[in-house]
Amino acid sequence: MMVSEESPLLVTTAYEVIYDRFAPDQKRWIVFLVSFVGLLPMVVLGSFVPSIPQIAEDLDLTHAVVSLIFSISIFASAIGALVWAAYSSFYGRRSIYLWGMPILCVGSCGVALSTSFQSLLFWRFVQTFGCAGPLSLGAGVIGDIYKLGERGTFIGLFFCVTLIGFAAAPFIGGAATQYWSWRSLHYSIGAWGFLDMLLIYFSLPETSHPGTLGIDKLPLRTQRWINITWINPLNSLWLLCSPNLFAVMLASALVLTSGYVLLVPMAYTIGVRYGITNDAIIGACFLPGGLGNMIGALVSGRQSDTVVRRWREKRKGVWYPEDRLRATWIGGLIMAPLSVGASGLITTYVGGLIGLWLNILCLFVNGMGIDWVLEPVSAYNVDVVHSRSAEATAASLASRTLIMSVVTALVIPSIDRIGVAWTDIIAAVLVLIGQVTIFLTIRYGDRMRASMDVGFSTVENY
């Protein structure tokens, strides 16, 4: 039976007892651990860009060729997220963490030892593939251990911590390249991955609910031996056949567009407009957006839990999954579209320090607005497909990543053709279109779920 406004729900169901398997202190440690591990993928992706000039010089390559490696790493990250999430539903979260980290370590050492474009390309793919799991796995772990009315807060906290890596990665990569070397940076990433592996091995329990893993359904004799099962990672993308999951994925991709439109061409827009030629200062301009992301993730996650509880009370205990999406309005209707549109107009028409500071404010507000949408959407994915929460998260992340790879290729040509102001205004309109899809999902969520059931959560297993 589908969960809808007409489905009765007791305040505490028998199924909720399963969330009491871990003590509160142990839950907090698990959240800390998966958040710490989730920092690494952000650092791996973000620290590469500042080292491109030194890599190009060392290997006698053009900057454009080395930049291609960054694009390949985005692709590897998307594929890796799907693979690790799919296998985590079969073997469990802990096992997949322990499989991925050695691949990251080997890939990092391979990157550091690379002496040609071909070897760098291969090992960079291995490195980013190996570390692609923690973001989707972390959301799945939190969904495993926290109840419906709590998980939004902790998913927001999880993404808040991981976004520290996103904000700090350009500085880490730039400083390591400037004062150390790009090879030493990747040896350090490998050592960090090894530390993560030890922490997971000694202190992360399996959090998947008993009896829900694919391997649990095999005969006991088969489980005792080494069991290697082929799982098609693209099956996770089938979840996006659901109108609900596709709609919220599209909305989150469109709101992310506003951030990429501001950040990708920053040296080309804000840097040129306000005469900033120092790479370190340009890099510092990324910090307001990262800080906004962190605050937005933290606050919006808690707010989405409050919204869920408030609407359940209004419905006398009935759970309607799409209620959580109501928490996106502030970010999707106000913060993100207004900040990106204003930045385009300010960059075009307001010069001097006033224009620069107003742009910095826009970057901060945009960062908050983006995560004011992303975190409720992430928690909604966990809520509505709880049995495959890591896969739903990975499918959304992978699809958004591929969409963003197209966006990054179009931003600068668009600015060249129609200017900064119109490019940013178009991005603002796209954010608003995304909020229209969220509105429709809230309004018609039960009908949309009924049209394509991909294994949605019910009142018995949310």
pLDDT tens string 353-396: 899 999 999 999 999 999 999 989 988 988 888 777 778 888 88
- Please tell me the predicted confidence (pLDDT) of residue 117: 86
- Please tell me the predicted confidence (pLDDT) of residue 126: 94
- Please tell me the predicted confidence (pLDDT) of residue 221: 52
Which pLDDT band holds residue 2 (cuts at 50, 70, 90)? very low
- Residue identified by tokens 């896969």 is 391
> Is pLDDT above 90 for 430?
yes
Distance between CA 195 and CA 202 in Å, rounded?
A: 11
- Please tell me the predicted confidence (pLDDT) of residue 162: 85
Helices vs strands, H then E, count in the chain: 18, 0
- Please tell me the predicted confidence (pLDDT) of residue 329: 94
Distance between CA 364 and CA 380 in Å, rounded?
A: 25
- Residue identified by tokens 């005792």 is 224
- Please tell me the predicted confidence (pLDDT) of residue 232: 79
Which pLDDT band holds residue 9 (cuts at 50, 70, 90)? very low
- Please tell me the predicted confidence (pLDDT) of residue 1: 37
Show the tokens assigned to 72. Answer: 């390949």
> Is pLDDT above 90 for 327?
yes
Which pLDDT band holds residue 3 (cuts at 50, 70, 90)? very low
Distance between CA 145 and CA 166 in Å, rounded?
A: 26
385: which DSSP letter? T
- Please tell me the predicted confidence (pLDDT) of residue 47: 79
**Which among 126, 7, 121, 112 has a CA at the least distance from the CA of 61?**
121
> Is pLDDT above 70 for 5?
no
Which pLDDT band holds residue 243 (cuts at 50, 70, 90)? very high
Distance between CA 204 and CA 210 in Å, rounded?
A: 16
Q: What is the mean pLDDT of residues 29-45?
A: 90
- Please tell me the predicted confidence (pLDDT) of residue 248: 94
> Is pLDDT above 70 for 11?
no
- Residue identified by tokens 């960059």 is 347
Domains, the chain, ordered by start: 13-231 (1.20.1250.20), 238-462 (1.20.1250.20)
pLDDT per residue over 109-138, tens digit each?
Answer: 999 999 888 898 899 999 999 988 888 888
- Please tell me the predicted confidence (pLDDT) of residue 135: 83
Residues in contact with 450: Cβ distance below 8 Å, sequence separation at least 6, in sequence order = 2
Tell me what percent of the chain is helix, strand and coil, each rounded to the nearest 5: 80, 0, 20
